[in-house]
């Protein structure tokens, strides 16, 4: 794959015509977001890859040479860079859908990527449209603009998390303040949530939103999304995008309450750079799907590869219990407990462990905790 100069980005733009929901692509191609663009043939590109941090977007035609070049790019550049930077991993969206098999079996062979289903929601604003939340903010919760004055209030708790989020898509806070905007909510000396614009380009932007635990299910997310939409309208933005996991019911509900409508679905690949974590996440994915024997196999592969986290033993215990492997489950439970990965309450309430409840080993395990 050949890295293109920004002056040549226009050549690959037609290849991404079916990826309009991914505003990061348009922002990078327009020079409004930092990134790199690669093409299989700089003069006559038939496949192209847009990189924005550790988010990748692939479009065009599959060819043997292109697949081999992509494999080298990820093996020789993306993975070493990600590990050196301490990044968790990457996501890879693609069009058309028939890229998925080639990506899994050839480009990322041996890397064990996974996929999940995402929804893309959009809010199309009219000039005189003013989005309104359905209920007011709770007493004591105050809205604030994300600006220099807010950032100067160093007594605010969780301000570092906001700064980190501001720089997740922008190279610096200064760049965010110059090109993006946002709203947050404050209660006393605590930031309880924020909603930021992302990938601003032309008359579009996307939404990044978070509400801290303990303040959810109070309508705060909807309020912030509506406030951000109003900011967007006054700045001439006419379309806001919202990406979330299809299974993330709270995020879906917030988007719909704020006036967004479902426009498309897609299934990007994702993988962790750390091999042991990636193997264990494969186990988690299968555990959530109810594929218990397969989940246990992935957890055990992670442990054999050197995984040390107590959460891996905890996942293996749940998978083994649900698969009917009582002794294996109890062994992994003891190891999870030794690593402080699980509480007694979790033991007694986790559904996957119910097959153990009538066994002598289970009673002995609980008795040991009480001693």
- If pLDDT is split at 50, 70 and 90, which confidence band does 126 have? confident
Instruction: Name the helix (H) or strand (E) containing 329.
Output: helix 326-338
Q: What is the pLDDT of residues 270-315, one digit of tens each?
A: 999 999 999 999 999 999 999 999 999 999 999 999 998 999 999 9
Calculate mean pLDDT across residues 327-335: 96
- Residues 28-58 have pLDDT tens digits of 999 999 999 999 999 999 999 999 999 999 9
Count of CB atoms within 10 A of residue 183's CB? 23
Question: In percent, how much of the chain has pLDDT > 70?
Answer: 99
Q: Global pTM? A: 0.92
The pLDDT mean for the chain works out to 94
- For each of the domains in the chain, give its residue range(s) and CATH number, in order of start: 2-114 (3.40.630), 122-266 (3.40.630.30), 275-360 (1.25.40.10)
Q: Is 181 helix (H, G, I), strand (E, B) or coil?
A: coil
pLDDT of residue 371: 60
pLDDT digit string, tens, across residues 63-110: 889 999 999 999 999 999 999 999 999 999 999 999 999 999 999 999
What pLDDT was estimated at residue 177? Answer: 95
Q: What distance, in Å, lies between the first and last C-alpha atoms of the chain? A: 62
Distance CA 359, CA 137 (A): 50
Determine what percent of the chain is predicted with pLDDT higher than 90: 92
pLDDT tens digit sequence for 193-249 = 999 999 999 999 999 999 999 999 999 999 999 999 999 999 999 999 999 999 999
Question: Which tokens in the block code for residue 205?
Answer: 């932007």
């Amino acid at each position: 794959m050949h890295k293109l100069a920004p002056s040549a980005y226009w050549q690959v733009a037609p290849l991404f015509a079916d990826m309009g929901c991914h505003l990061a692509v348009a922002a990078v191609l327009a020079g409004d977001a930092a990134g790199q663009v690669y093409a299989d043939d700089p003069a006559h590109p038939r496949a192209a890859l847009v990189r924005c941090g550790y988010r990748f977007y692939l479009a065009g035609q599959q060819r043997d040479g292109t697949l081999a070049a992509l494999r080298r790019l990820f093996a020789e550049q993306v993975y070493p860079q990600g590990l050196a930077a301490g990044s968790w991993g990457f996501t890879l969206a693609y069009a058309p859908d028939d890229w998925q098999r080639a990506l899994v079996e050839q480009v990322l062979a041996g890397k064990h990527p996974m996929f999940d289903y995402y929804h893309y929601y959009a809010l199309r604003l009219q000039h005189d449209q003013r989005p309104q939340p359905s209920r007011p903010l709770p007493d004591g919760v105050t809205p604030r603009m994300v600006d220099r004055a807010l950032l100067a209030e160093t007594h605010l708790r969780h301000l570092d998390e906001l700064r980190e989020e501001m720089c997740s898509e922008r190279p610096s806070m200064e760049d965010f303040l110059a090109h993006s905007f946002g709203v947050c909510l404050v209660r006393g000396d605590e930031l309880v949530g924020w909603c930021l614009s992302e990938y601003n380009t032309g008359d579009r932007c996307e939404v990044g939103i978070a509400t801290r635990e303990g303040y959810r299910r109070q309508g705060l997310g909807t309020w912030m999304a509506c406030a951000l939409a109003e900011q967007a309208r006054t700045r001439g933005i006419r379309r806001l995008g919202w990406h979330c996991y299809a299974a993330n019911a709270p995020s879906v509900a917030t988007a719909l309450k704020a006036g967004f409508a479902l426009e498309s679905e897609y299934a990007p690949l994702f993988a962790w750079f750390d091999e042991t974590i990636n193997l264990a996440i494969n186990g988690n994915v299968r555990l959530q799907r109810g594929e218990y024997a397969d989940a246990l196999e992935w957890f055990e592969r992670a442990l054999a590869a050197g995984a040390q986290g107590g959460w891996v033993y905890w996942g293996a215990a749940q998978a083994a219990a649900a698969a009917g492997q009582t002794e294996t489950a109890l062994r992994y439970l003891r190891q999870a407990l030794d690593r402080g990965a699980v509480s007694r309450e979790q033991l007694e309430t986790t559904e996957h462990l119910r097959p153990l409840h009538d066994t002598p080993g289970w009673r002995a395990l609980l008795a040991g905790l009480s001693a």
